[in-house]
A and B are shown apart, each in its own frame.
Chain A
């Protein structure tokens, strides 16, 4: 059975093709349109998926959408009516206009765009899409599943368990209905601290390490934890219906502003720095206020999720947990859940939001998965670099100053060396020498991944002990503040040498979903990847999942003594992750990326 799974109208429209439980292809629309978190109907992603499957649309057995729009419309209509109408009709009118002009008729849109019979189009409840994706991506046949997302049709946090035998079976034990959404409160606080509301969960977690939980008691007024492990969100602090339906509208009520002050002015940067070397900047009172709020939220959300996990363990006493939803994109929370939660093994899929839901919907409708190891996230498009590499001869460095990233030096005398068709060993030798010399390297290999963060095929790399290279990577390549928590790619064989682990690295550290403490004896060698709270965010690379990156790490380890590299996703600022060679070459030309590897092609900047 061949099933197309779709998500749209939310942050990160996605298409996925699943054949007999195996993901053939999946991609977010943003990778093709270059619009971050593109919510529009995933036309280009569908085209890619069908091309990859070698099928026309009418040959699909089923097309499934990741939520039931009728049920969700009912919730939106009744909640916007109940909370604001008729005193604030604007939200109701805008929401209804959005729904009645397209979202509600998604079956018609899919049927019309793909020219398929409407009977082939069906809907999967949103929480089941999440649960199926988490379970099917994991190596487990049976597990408890905790979903902590912003909101689905009606449920916000969902406690369920599932098995994979003759298909995916999901038992929903409990749902916490709207407005009791940790995800929406977290999105509101992310917006308050100056980040994108939904994607800011990870930034909020990184910022939390710089603060103290001094506003915890005030936050407990908004989210009250119950003795039974659940929680309640008090609705008069934040206009959650506003942020749920219009993500960039202000959800801050006068009561919230009176307690927490005004939102952060995003034009003023936060004066924090993750690097342990050099003098630490002195943050002002405003910056400390936001860091303290982030720290308070981190403590509260950890307590709330631990409470839910204990309650879920009571419902489903199994040793394995799959944790998914927007809140699972918080590595410190995942680490705490793993350390203090009631489950022995925790798994977090690499794509926890709407991207994963599209895959999950297709998995649920497809025949049972036959592969029972964790599924690879590298299901995106692979590119031939030759055609784009020819572009380099036309785009000469003397034209670069026109579109260089602000703050980047633009030396018109720089020379670009292009070396196509290198063998892997020769390529790795050059890259290792560059990394050891403090250069910043872009690494593009094979198919791009599904999640918002690169798991190994679209990376920026530098030596984790080189403060200058780490600063340039953060500020002049990926264009993000240097207080963000960088990733650390480690070769599987060196993981025990780098991390304080009780046993061999588990599945939790495979895609950078959690944090871990580095061993004191290697601190100097990975110091630039160590966050201010003393943790690293490791991605343990195996020869099976990412063979070329694993080879590079091992070669780097042979040279400097430790097979670990500081990593960031190959992107520039707020743009989506680079997908094609052309996207990567644009990052190379616009930023201070010194070397770029695209499959077997090497491009290097050489100063005269």
Chain B
């Protein structure tokens, strides 16, 4: 896979992630489940917090059973 004459702009990753998030929200509304958006945000935040906690050795034994 050639990297010599690439056309990927710097910082493209962040804009793609933002663009994908917007598309997911649009898709939720397109499938008439937009009402679940607040719940999804809360749950995904919780999942993120759990994932971070799982990295802490002292806490991870209590977190792993949930994953």
Write the residues of chain A forming the contact surface with B, with a CB cutoff of 8 angstroms. Answer: 43, 46-47, 50, 56-58, 68-71, 73-75, 77-78, 81, 85, 89-90, 92-94, 96-97, 100, 104-105, 107-108, 111-118, 120, 154
Contacts and interface: CB of A to CB of B under 8 A. Distances in A.
A178 to B, nearest CB: 11
B47 A112 contact: no
12 contacts: A58-B5, A73-B27, A74-B28, A78-B31, A89-B66, A93-B47, A100-B44, A100-B47, A107-B16, A118-B8, A118-B12, A120-B7
Nearest to A115: B6
A47 B67 contact: no
Nearest to A123: B23
Contacts of B3: 115
Q: Which 4 A-B pairs have the closest CB atoms?
A: A115-B6, A56-B2, A70-B23, A74-B27
Interface string B14-51: 01110110011011101101001001100110010011
Contacts of B66: 89-90, 93
Contacts of A77: 40
A111 B16 contact: yes
Contacts of A75: 31
B57 interface: no
A112 B19 CA distance: 16
A163 B44 CA distance: 43
Nearest to B40: A77
Contacts of A117: 7-9, 12
B58 interface: no
B6 A116 contact: yes
Interface residues of B, number: 34
A11 to B, nearest CB: 23
Contacts of A73: 24, 27
Nearest to B28: A74
Contact of A154 (B15, B26, B31, B50): B31
A108 B13 contact: yes
A99 B43 CA distance: 14
Given A50-B1, A100-B44, A154-B31, A116 B7 contact: yes
Nearest to B17: A105
B43 A115 contact: no
Nearest to A111: B8
A449 B15 CA distance: 38
Main secondary structure of the interface of B (DSSP, over half): helix
Given A93-B67, A97-B47, A111-B8, A104 B1 contact: no
Nearest to B6: A115
A70 B24 contact: yes
B36 A96 contact: no
Main secondary structure of the interface of A (DSSP, over half): helix
A104 B47 contact: no
Nearest to A71: B27
A73 B67 CA distance: 19
Contacts of A108: 12-13, 16-17, 20
A565 B57 CA distance: 61
A57 B1 contact: yes
Contact of A56 (B4, B8, B9, B39): B4
A78 B36 contact: yes
Contacts of A116: 6-8
Contacts of A70: 20, 23-24, 26-27
Contacts of A57: 1-2, 6
A92 B12 contact: no
A156 B2 CA distance: 37
A68 B2 CA distance: 26
A295 B43 CA distance: 43
A447 to B, nearest CB: 22
B1 A112 contact: no
Contacts of B9: 117
B7 A115 contact: yes
Nearest to A108: B16
Contacts of A68: 27
A115 B20 contact: no
Contact of A43 (B1, B6, B23): B1
Contacts of A100: 44, 47
A74 B47 CA distance: 16
A90 B67 contact: yes
Pick the most buried of A77, A105, A154: most chain B CB atoms within 10 A of its CB: A77
Contacts of B16: 105, 107-108, 111, 118
B1 A46 contact: yes
Pick the most buried of B2, B26, B30: most chain A CB atoms within 10 A of its CB: B2
Given A105-B16, A112-B13, A154-B31, A74 B6 contact: no
Contacts of A74: 24, 27-28, 31, 33
B41 to A, nearest CB: 11
A93 B39 CA distance: 14
Given A50-B1, A97-B67, 20 more contacts: A43-B1, A56-B4, A58-B5, A68-B27, A70-B26, A70-B27, A73-B27, A75-B31, A77-B40, A78-B36, A93-B47, A94-B67, A97-B47, A107-B16, A108-B12, A108-B16, A111-B12, A115-B1, A115-B7, A118-B12
B42 to A, nearest CB: 11
A78 B33 contact: yes
A97 B55 CA distance: 14
A116 B24 CA distance: 23
B7 A58 contact: yes
B6 A58 contact: yes
A116 B3 CA distance: 9
